[in-house]
Structure 1
Amino acid sequence: MKLLWVFVFMGLLICKWVEGFENANVTDMHFVEGSAFYNRPLLVGLTLINGATAKGAVCLDGSLPGYHLHRGWGSGANNWLIQLEGGGWCANIRNCIYSKRTRHGSSVFMEKQIPFVGILSNKAEENPDFFNWNRVKVRYCDGASFSGDSQNAAARLYFRGQHIWSAAMEDLMSQGMRYAKQALLSGCSAGGLASILHCDEFRELFPRTTRVKCLSDAGLFLDALDVAGRRTLRNMFRAVVSLHGVPKNLPRSCTSHLNPTLCFFPQYLISSVRTPLFLLNAAYDTWQIQASLAPPSTDYHWNWVDCRKNYARCSSWQIHYLQGFRNQMLNSVKRFSRYRKNGLFINSCFSHCQSERQDTWFAPNSPHIGNRGIAQSVGNWFFDRVVGIQAIGCPYPCDKTCHNMVFQ
């Protein structure tokens, strides 16, 4: 019973953290007069997937799933970029009931229009390689990274993430994606995990002549010890995988030798993904610091309260601990990075989801490693302009290009 209440507590905290990330302040930003930041972003309407219910593809509350599509033109008319939305996970019935009353569990509460910025921008000066592609944001409303297949009749909860993925892809194929010359599957956070889980499935949708690759932004969740010496995230992922019926949809290349919970962690999956994959991640991922490494449930003496919210308030021993986490992240991608088809951009920033924000994706002072920023690195990798994109930044505090997140 005690363990159950820990999961409930963690689930509700994660919902609050997701809300907090959406309202976080970003420091170290210098806006340039007349720059792309002063342009109004394109607003794109929500399309519900009609007929999805008959396919078992519904949100947590049983409502229709949806996406936002802006058509490509010119040289990008036959190219497609799919962005899978993130938003945490729900690991227990109480948390999922909470989620189904939000936009992360029901299309009833989704915004009818959302701004397309960063990798989804329609402006060449903000998104030089993908601005005129068909660009799609698939909304996240299943609570398990588009991978579940179960339900709870008593609570009227539908865990149908895998069905939502399939229905969305089928609908987009009918919208012209089947004729794609080039296609990129991307995602941020829980959507970044989903882009890894579904990468090879995405590849199979297209003929071999189509250039198909995948991008995971802030999706490299590590199976790491927290500050109390426990595995908070592993325990939560175990609950998610069990509740949502995820095991049947995990890659067999992993489940054939590891248990399903471990196969929900990207570090155990990435080396077996056959399709070219790019990992974009902050070495000090702020979500993982707050929810996995030093969550309140393990911070018994409240030593991490200030550090969790503001990296500048971390003590020397806390920074040392976070350097160990960075080392774990770099060790987890060693085998993955040996394959030249794959790409890496791991900067030593306190951030989360850098492809969806204009200031970090492509701007006059966006984060760089060496002389290349994030958008340029991803573009060079996707179009094979540079072979072997393996960009890893030096440890904190030497990177002066970061746009670090600070929480109220």
Structure 2
Amino acid sequence: MGDSRFGPQWHCLLLVVCLLLRAEGDSIPITIVETAKARGAVCLDGSPPAYHIDKGYGSGINNWIVHMEGGGWCDDVKSCLERKNTYKGSSLKMEKTMGFSGILGKKQAANPDFYNWNRIKIKYCDGSSFTGDVEGVDPKTKLYFRGERIWWAVIDDLLAKGMKNAQNAILSGCSAGGLAAILHCDKFKSLLPATAKVKCVSDAGYFIHGQDVAGGYEIQKFFGRIVGLHGSVKSLPPSCTSRMKPELCFFPQYVTRTMQTPLFVINSAYDFWQLKNVLAPSAVDSKGTWKSCKLDLKKCSAAQLKTVHNFRLQFLNALSIGAGSKPSNGLFINSCYAHCQSGSAATWLADKSPVLGNTKIGKAVGDWFYDRAKFQKIDCPYPCNPTCVKVDSDS
């Protein structure tokens, strides 16, 4: 029962205060998809998948942005077991609440195009960019490789909660989640109304089939082990697997050639994960010759910096034969020593966010999504962009 001492004006004031607190709060509770277990859609440890959702309102009530969390991969039993009992392999270990920022931010000034959409972050607990689907479970390891099933279970849950009526929708992700956004993009569009505007955004997920400092392709071997262990073959885009080896279809440069849905690629041509793991992976840099350079480009020798610049050319070539070859796609390829730039307010649309063509990432993506302006820009070579200073120093 209400207290009679408080009249209608107090109830109105309390409602306003509550709404303000909700708008400024950053603790979005976790949603565990318990029903997913019945269909075998589980994390590495067998626990059900999870996501966080901040519901849309006003003009954004029928608009949806589904963002897939990143966090690397596991390519063998040992590395998957190491993830199994952490938040990267079990929903039992995940934080119960989390805040949203950047592309998922709720403040209109910081995220004007998407702030009032239904904003979702799918938690990443399978180690395969949401592609695994192995029925059998080894009784010794008790590892479940079910990333693809997780994706479907979460998407089905969201469709039932109103996404089936979406007017505008984005599938996005960062790093391993950015790769997942590319691999699942066309499937995502196919599930939504034909009248909906549907596009995808990949942040730091354009991993290239690049040559390493030893002249080989260690990254192809790594991706091959992931695809084999997790049974990813049947989950990868058939438009790619019908043309080439399955492990090559883990590389966006080959998948994006035949993608139908518009894609925006946010990436650094000097992505620090790729410099560390594609260009100079520890497997081919056993003496640690590249250790200092990989951690700080200012510490690269002249010869190493030349190799780093050549890696940029490899990246741009991979872009030109894939996502960059389509006019409908968007590109924000800067020269910051960075990895993932859409998930933080500092790099999305803040005063000191990185700029390309006098445009910040958040504005470029918004203009592209709403067809206000096309955006395909590639930065000059490192260290030419002064707006990268803040990003580089925080890497």
Instruction: Name the TM-score, length of structure 2 as normaliser.
Output: 0.91
AA in 2 matched with 1:343 = G
Task: Please give the root-mean-square deviation of Cα atoms over the aligned residues, in Å.
Answer: 1.5
1:32-51 to 2 correspondences below 5 Å = 42-51=26-35
Q: Which of these residues, 310, 314, 330, is aligned with residue 343 of structure 1?
A: 330
Choose from 232, 236, 246 the match for 2:222.
236
Aligned to 1:59: 43
Deviations 1:130-159 (A, max 9, x none): 011000000000110000101442310000
| Residue of 55, 65, 83 corresponding to 1:71 | 55
- Mind listing any 5+ residue stretches in structure 1 that lack a counterpart? 1-38
Q: 2:254: which partner in 1?
A: 268
3-state DSSP of counterpart to 1:96: helix
Deviation of 1:175 (Å): 1.0
Distance 2:308 2:187 in 1: 35
Partner residue, 1:383: 370
Contact 2:210 2:315 in 1 (8 A): no
Q: Give the share of equivalent positions with the same residue, in percent.
A: 49
Show the 5 A alignment for 1:131-142.
Answer: 131-142=115-126
- The alpha carbon displacement at 1:207 in A equals 1.5
Aligned equivalent of 2:241? 255
User: What letter is aligned with 1:163?
Assistant: R
- Indicate conservation of the 8 Å contact 2:354/2:391, yes or no: no
TM-score normalised by L of structure 1: 0.88
Amino acid aligned to 2:93: F
Structure whose CA Rg is larger: 2
CA distance in 2, matches of 1:250, 1:73: 34
Decide whether the 8 Å contact of 1:59 with 1:107 is kept in 2. Answer: yes
Counterpart-to-counterpart distance in 2, 1:82 and 1:300: 39
Equivalent-residue separation in structure 2 for 1:41 and 1:90 (angstroms): 34
Pairing 1:145–2:129 present = yes
C-alpha distance 405-399 of structure 1, shift in aligned 2 (>3 A)? closer
Deviations 1:196-250 (A, max 9, x none): 0000000011121000000000001011121222222111111000000001111
Match of 1:299 among 280, 285, 292: 285
Q: Tell me the secondary structure at the aligned position of residue 237 of structure 1.
A: helix
Q: Do residues 374 (structure 1) and 361 (structure 2) align?
A: yes
Identify the structure with bigger relative contact order (alpha carbons < 8 Å, sequence gap 6+).
Answer: 1
Taking the aligned partners of 1:405 and 1:102, their CA distance within structure 2 comes to: 29
Gapped regions of structure 2 (runs ≥ 5): 1-22
**Cα deviations by residue, 1:54-84 (Å, 9 ceiling, x for unpaired):** 1110000000100000011111111000000
Q: Does the CA contact (< 8 Å) of 2:182 and 2:202 recur in 1?
A: yes
Give 1:277-288 correspondences, 5 Å limit: 277-288=263-274
Instruction: Give, in whole Å, the separation in 2 of the partners of 1:406 and 1:112.
Output: 31
User: Which deviations, in whole Å up to 9, do the C-alpha atoms of 1:107-133 show, x marking residues without a partner?
Assistant: 011111111011111001211110110
In 1, Cα distance between equivalents of 2:324 and 2:178: 18
2:34 partner SS: coil
SS in 2 for 1:215: strand
More divergent stretch after superposition (166-175 vs 321-330):
321-330
Alignment of 1:153-164 (within 5 A): 153=138, 154-164=140-150
